[in-house]
Amino acid sequence: MMEHSQGHICQCLPRLLALRRDSPVTIAGERRKTGPRFVEDVLALACGLSELGVRPGDVVAIAALNSDWYIEWLLAITFVGGIAAPLNYRWSFGEARFAIELVSPVMLVVDESCISWALELQDAGSITSIRMYVLIGDADHPKLGNNGSVLKMNYIRRSWQGPPTRDPLLAPNGVAIICFTSGTTGKPKGVAIGHTALIVQSLAKLAIIDYSEEDVYLHTAPLCHIGGISSCIAMLMAGGCHIVLPKFGAESSIQAIEQHHVTSLITVPAMMADLISYISGKSISWKGGKSVSKILNGGGGLSFELTSIATHIFPQAKIVSAYGMTETCSSLTFIVLADLIHNKSGVLLSDNYEVKSEYPYQQSKGVCVGKPAPHVEIQIYSGDQASNCSPFIGKILTRGLHVMVGYWKQTSGNLPHSKENGWLDTGDIGWLDENGNLWLIGRGKGLIKSGGENVYPEEVESVLARHPGVSNVVVVGIPDSRLSEKVVACITIREGWQWVDGMSRHLPGQKELSNKLLQNFCRQMNLTGFKIPKNILLWKKPFPLTTTGKLKRDDVRQEVISYMQIMPCKLYSVLINHKPRS
């Protein structure tokens, strides 16, 4: 039985049963499920998992695109006390295999986009923990043929009539999900997140963003990311309607907004840029934005340009930007961006969205990411000092019920984000102003946030360094209005190799390197697409080092930013061999 003192994300089911008796909880293509149908399907799946031997603490991994079935799996797994482990469908097979070996699931659930992983794992036979492979959905898949070793979802379900007859169960330590985030080596780390963290995060979103049962929520974020998961749980608790697309696309999202009168969605800067680009290119006038009243942005702050145009495209929307991380169950702080655009904040726009004064939340002293949610404590730490008042600059620490249970199968001795006296080191540097707003200055270890995805420079560097023509490489992230940050690699080349990407003349008999050739090499080495550098720069001087020989990555980053600003935008490779002009 579940302890009364602890919450459970499946406590949303009775509310959905009552609130949406005649209206849909989920709409996915032609499938519409009312509250009773949705709850019945969740409980039927939970009953089947229990009969198949899934017990409290067992891990069930999911590798799939978004669907209504995905949401049902998340709830059904946790209802029986299991732990859901969503895998990123964008991973290479090697990354997926590492994550699966880490969490040792008893079951792997896949859809057609990831079924090759299941078949390859079955052939290898080395993941002995997996007792069952299951295909999401109702239909057969051509790759399976008569392969009975991958079960169909309907085989799992058991008949269930009426409301729940028992309380949902809890896994040890109250863990609900293992959400993956890249480690310092680029390999996925499993972040164990509890039911309580998901519930308090949901309540914060309900309070700050005003989610309610009247909302029609469009799933634009993948359900394998903490942003997508936490907003999904929040909307389940609010009792709203879920519009589910397999994955984000500007055209499909705009069509869904217009068709279903969507009121709420979440974005990262790349998504917002794509939506704006698509709407701007439409030959007919855009009217769908009038239904949208709430937009939550994560994965990096929206630029002034994107925010200002978004307020015109979605004129009724409250645009909120959130700062957080997987280890804190998504959002730590929130800031309403639309308030910074309108005249009441002193910022004016011309008719063509030209910036007329400085963006108040993005200045040389950092980026303002807003105030902490009610359940979140923030502290700034430097050396042996800590402070929760301005103007103290240091590490950003946080404490509260939102903090992860821990990293799966890891000890505190090898954690990049340590927990001490309840405080979690976010790995970011910042300060608190006199109004309690958190200002983010940078990331402590060079993490690049590109399009909502984490990219660790060390992983990209290790791949490029394997090319026989590359002598040395440093990878940095530089600001980008669409991706928040884009990945840039600076390389030095070995003797006998010639750089031929626009700036250099080809010499017969020499081996060639170029931006395109090195990007293709990254693909051949199975580097995930969003980690491949957008720009590769030829660097013809020593990289800056400290007196102890450590790389001064921030110096490289600042020089790249300065130099690229004075080069023509069309150039994708430049020679850096002198200090850029100020």
**Rounded to an integer, what distance in angstroms lies between the CA atom of residue 214 and that of residue 556?**
49
CA 482, distance to chain mean position in Å, is: 15
Of 246, 312, 273, 304, nearest to 450 by C-alpha is 273
**In terms of DSSP H, where are the helices of 52-142?**
68-79, 93-103, 115-124
**Rounded to an integer, what distance in angstroms lies between the CA atom of residue 480 and that of residue 500?**
26
| 330-362 per-position pLDDT tens digit | 999 999 986 655 543 333 333 333 333 344 555
Helix (H, G, I), strand (E, B) or coil at 355: strand
**Rounded to an integer, what distance in angstroms lies between the CA atom of residue 431 and that of residue 253?**
37
**Rounded to an integer, what distance in angstroms lies between the CA atom of residue 331 and that of residue 237?**
17
CB 251 within 8 A of CB 234: no
Q: What is the pLDDT of residue 5?
A: 58
Give the architecture (CATH level 2) of 448-576. Answer: 2-Layer Sandwich (3.30)
CA distances from 64 to 92, 116, 483, 577 (A): 14, 11, 24, 46
Q: Judge residue 468's burial from the number of C-beta atoms within 10 Å of its C-beta, 0-12 exposed, 13-18 middle, 19 or more buried.
A: exposed
Instruction: Note the CATH number of domain 9-194.
Output: 3.40.50.12780
The DSSP result for 514-574, as a single string, is -HHHHHHHHHHTT--GGGS-SEEEEE-SPPPB-TTS-B-HHHHHHHHHHHHHHS-TT-S--
In this prediction, the residues of the chain whose per-residue pLDDT falls under 50 are 1, 4, 145-146, 184, 343-359, 363-364, 411-416, 568-575, 578-582
Q: Residue 187: how many CB atoms within 10 A of its CB?
A: 15
Q: What is the pLDDT of residue 477?
A: 92
CB 200 within 8 A of CB 375: yes
- Matching residue, tokens 């990411």: 369
Q: Any idea where the domains of the chain sit in the sequence? A: 9-194, 448-576
Of 88, 255, 112, nearest to 187 by C-alpha is 88
Helix (H, G, I), strand (E, B) or coil at 210: coil
Q: What is the pLDDT of residue 347?
A: 36
Q: At what angle do helices 226-238 and 195-208 cross, to 10 degrees?
A: 70
What does the DSSP 8-state code read for residue 483? T
**Rounded to an integer, what distance in angstroms lies between the CA atom of residue 260 and that of residue 77?**
29
**Rounded to an integer, what distance in angstroms lies between the CA atom of residue 552 and that of residue 545?**
5
CA distances from 530 to 119, 360, 448 (A): 25, 30, 11
CA triplet 271, 289, 284: central angle to 5 degrees? Answer: 95
| 514-573 per-position pLDDT tens digit | 999 999 999 998 898 999 999 999 998 899 886 556 688 888 998 998 877 765 443 434
What do you get for the CA distance between the two ends of the chain, in Å?
A: 67
CB 448 within 8 A of CB 455: yes
